[in-house]
């Protein structure tokens, strides 16, 4: 579960605090026996920002400071720097905020104040307006709320009350309106995940001893919460993944035990839940991945056993499912990844076997599936990744072979594809990610020359600037 993975990564920062925050030492030219150690001496010298979330004119995020641990921070815009929003768990241990989602003028998140464990919190972007919503699981263990999803004018999430396992919950934003909705396999082993809203329903997956982990749906009440279909009959899981909402339907990947992992579709009814197409016939699996919508079709990468992993599309029927283009002829495959829609085009990373892994685009036809730019010329790969659509441009990370992994952007043309900034000069990587437009600038996380993840702002015109204080240099 993505939220649990984030929590695990967050807890790793506790170890960093005990180890003086994992700074990278460098020998000095004047005295190789001494080292320059970057330190978080200034109040705004945070590292490892994540969970960037806009709230009116402010940008909220989670970051680590050696004095406070992992906590919530806020910045108001250019020239204002960044400050600790509130030290929810005073001291260096940190409250580990995670899962931030803006709803009704507040940002909701999970945090641990050291007394109640990981529970549901909210903030309006001010210290006084930051408070715990409810303590679902009394004591230090916490209910670990995760998978925040807005559905039918409520905030839905998954949490563990200590007795019923991880179930569906919803809240109107306060303790009185917070309640458990589901009682699926109520007990310590219950697991609900993958909340996906499609039309007037919310699909999710859940586990029962009789059916294993399968597809469920709710219209928003306990009575309407039900198993959609036992896709792989019996207690074995069908391995449902990659839920994608398309109108009132949901597409996903699963195996019924006969066909291997293939593409499925559901309208929330047993009869309307079916295999779309068996691309790799029999027990072989085509393993569809990177599902994305473009117009009336769902696009995905899959392996049919003859062409390698290539780009496919479907209208939801077996007859209307076809390979878009065999980009790399033969059985090796072009391995399309990170499929992202922008302006009626689908952008993705792939290789045709001549150029390396580069940026491609497709309008859904074979003729309209073309290489955007060979950023690392020849067989070398620029390996585009971390795609984000900001206004009318696609932002991504890539390595052109000269500048290391840096931020890039494109309007879909070769001339309009260019490096946005060289954060770490030369061939070293800054590894940018979490691109976000806020105000008149683009914010993202990237490593500085010492390898510390920092927050950067790139204005519409000009050079990128560091948000927050610089790490102080100390000889030792």
pLDDT single digits (tens) 222-271: 999 999 999 999 999 999 999 999 999 999 999 999 999 999 999 999 99
Q: What is the pLDDT of residue 186?
A: 77
CB atoms within 10 A of CB 43: 15
* pLDDT value at 178 more than 80: yes
Give the chain's domain count.
1
Higher pLDDT, 181 or 21: 181
Phi, psi (rounded to 5 degrees) for 18:
-65, -25
- Tell me how far CA of residue 238 lies from CA of 143, 220, 232, 258, in angstroms: 27, 25, 5, 11
Answer positive or negative: Cα dihedral of 94, 96, 101, 103: negative
Q: Which residue has 């700074």 as its token pair?
A: 23
Strands (E), 139-240: 146-151, 154-160, 166-171, 179-180, 192-198, 201-208, 212-218, 226-229
What confidence tier does 476 reach under pLDDT thresholds 50, 70, 90? low
Domain assignment of residue 208, yes or no:
no
Distance (Å, rounded) from C-alpha 50 to C-alpha 412? 28
CB atoms within 10 A of CB 319: 8
Q: What is the pLDDT of residue 474?
A: 65
Domain assignment of residue 104, yes or no:
yes
Q: Are 130 and 81 in contact (CB under 8 A)?
A: no
Domain assignment of residue 189, yes or no:
no
Domain assignment of residue 435, yes or no:
yes
Average pLDDT over residues 20-36: 46
What confidence tier does 134 reach under pLDDT thresholds 50, 70, 90? very high
Percent of the chain whose pLDDT exceeds 90:
86
Distance (Å, rounded) from C-alpha 327 to C-alpha 307? 9
Coil, strand or helix at 449? coil
Residues 6+ apart with CB under 8 A from 137: 117, 119, 143, 159, 160, 161, 162
Distance (Å, rounded) from C-alpha 250 to C-alpha 256? 17
161 exposure class (CB count in 10 Å sphere: 0-12, 13-18, 19+)? middle
Distance (Å, rounded) from C-alpha 371 to C-alpha 374? 7
Distance (Å, rounded) from C-alpha 149 to C-alpha 332? 39
Q: Does an H or E element contain 254, and which? A: strand 249-254
Domain assignment of residue 158, yes or no:
no
Pick from 73-77, 194-198, 326-330, 448-452: least confident: 73-77
Coil, strand or helix at 150? strand
| Six-digit token string for 101 | 């989602």
Q: Strand 69-75 and strand 83-86: pairing?
A: antiparallel
Domain assignment of residue 357, yes or no:
yes
- Tell me how far CA of residue 335 lies from CA of 140, 346, 448, in angstroms: 45, 15, 31
Instruction: Give the sheet arrangement for strand 226-229, strand by strand.
Output: 192-198, 201-208, 212-218, 226-229
Q: Does an H or E element contain 85, and which? A: strand 83-86
pLDDT digit string, tens, across residues 427-450: 999 999 999 999 889 999 999 999
* pLDDT value at 49 more than 80: yes
| Six-digit token string for 153 | 């004018």
What confidence tier does 386 reach under pLDDT thresholds 50, 70, 90? very high
| Domain carrying residue 410 | 59-122+215-466
Average pLDDT over residues 396-404: 97
Distance (Å, rounded) from C-alpha 358 to C-alpha 73? 36
Q: What is the pLDDT of residue 451?
A: 94
Q: What is the pLDDT of residue 472?
A: 85
Domain assignment of residue 174, yes or no:
no
* pLDDT value at 17 more than 90: no
Q: Are 383 and 406 in contact (CB under 8 A)?
A: no
The residue among 370, 284, 290, 356 whose CA lies nearest residue 325 is 370
| Six-digit token string for 445 | 């996380």
Instruction: Give the sheet arrangement for strand 393-399, strand by strand.
Output: 385-390, 393-399, 405-410, 418-419
Distance (Å, rounded) from C-alpha 276 to C-alpha 288? 11
Task: Give the mean pLDDT of the chain.
Answer: 91
Residue 400: give its domain's CATH number: 2.130.10
Let me know the angle formed at the C-alpha of 67 by 63 and 72, rounded to the nearest 5 degrees. Answer: 30
% helix, strand, coil for the chain, step of 5: 5, 45, 50
The residue among 429, 427, 419 whose CA lies nearest residue 395 is 419
Distance (Å, rounded) from C-alpha 422 to C-alpha 411? 19
Distance (Å, rounded) from C-alpha 445 to C-alpha 115? 31
pLDDT digit string, tens, across residues 123-132: 999 999 999 9
Domain assignment of residue 197, yes or no:
no
Phi, psi (rounded to 5 degrees) for 96:
55, 60
């Amino acid at each position: 579960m993505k939220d649990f993975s984030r929590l695990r990564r967050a807890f790793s920062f506790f170890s960093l605090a005990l180890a003086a925050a994992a700074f990278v030492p460098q020998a000095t030219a004047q005295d190789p026996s001494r080292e320059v150690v970057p330190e978080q001496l200034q109040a705004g010298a945070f590292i490892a920002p994540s969970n960037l979330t806009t709230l009116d004119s402010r940008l909220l995020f989670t970051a680590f400071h050696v004095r406070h641990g992992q906590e919530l921070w806020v910045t108001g815009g250019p020239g204002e720097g960044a400050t600790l929003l509130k030290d929810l768990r005073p001291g260096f241990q940190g409250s580990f905020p995670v899962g931030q989602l803006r709803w009704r003028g507040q940002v909701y998140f999970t945090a641990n104040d050291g007394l109640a464990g990981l529970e549901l919190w909210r903030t309006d972007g001010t210290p006084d307006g930051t408070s715990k919503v409810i303590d679902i699981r009394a004591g230090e263990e916490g209910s670990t709320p995760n998978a925040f999803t807005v559905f039918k004018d409520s905030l839905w999430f998954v949490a563990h009350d200590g007795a019923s396992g991880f179930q569906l919950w919803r809240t109107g934003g306060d303790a009185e309106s917070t309640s458990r909705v589901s009682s699926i396999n109520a007990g310590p082993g219950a697991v609900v995940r993958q909340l996906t809203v499609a039309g007037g329903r919310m699909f999710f997956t859940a586990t029962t001893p009789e059916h294993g982990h399968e597809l469920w749906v709710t219209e928003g009440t306990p009575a309407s919460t039900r198993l959609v279909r036992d896709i792989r009959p019996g207690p074995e899981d069908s391995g449902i993944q990659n839920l994608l909402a398309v109108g009132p339907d949901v597409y996903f990947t699963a195996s019924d035990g006969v066909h291997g992992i293939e593409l499925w579709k559901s309208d929330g009814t047993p009869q309307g839940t079916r295999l779309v197409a068996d691309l790799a016939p029999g027990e072989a699996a085509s393993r569809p991945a990177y599902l994305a919508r473009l117009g009336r079709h769902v696009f995905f990468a899959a392996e049919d056993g003859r062409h390698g992993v290539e780009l496919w599309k479907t209208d939801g029927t077996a007859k209307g499912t076809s390979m878009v283009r065999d980009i790399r002829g033969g059985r090796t495959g072009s391995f399309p990844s990170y499929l992202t829609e922008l302006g009626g085009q689908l952008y993705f990373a792939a290789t045709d076997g001549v150029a390396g892994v580069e940026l491609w685009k497709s309008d859904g036809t074979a003729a309209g599936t073309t290489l955007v730019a060979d950023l690392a010329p020849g067989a070398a790969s620029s390996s585009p990744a971390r795609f984000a659509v900001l206004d009318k441009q696609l932002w991504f990370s890539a390595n052109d072979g000269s500048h290391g992994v840096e931020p890039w952007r494109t309007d879909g043309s070769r001339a309009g594809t260019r490096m946005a900034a060289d954060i770490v000069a030369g061939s070293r990587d800054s590894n940018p990610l979490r691109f976000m437009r806020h105000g008149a600038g683009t914010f993202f996380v990237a490593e500085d020359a010492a390898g510390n993840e920092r927050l950067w702002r790139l204005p519409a015109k000009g050079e990128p600037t560091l948000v927050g204080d610089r790490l102080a240099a100390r000889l030792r």
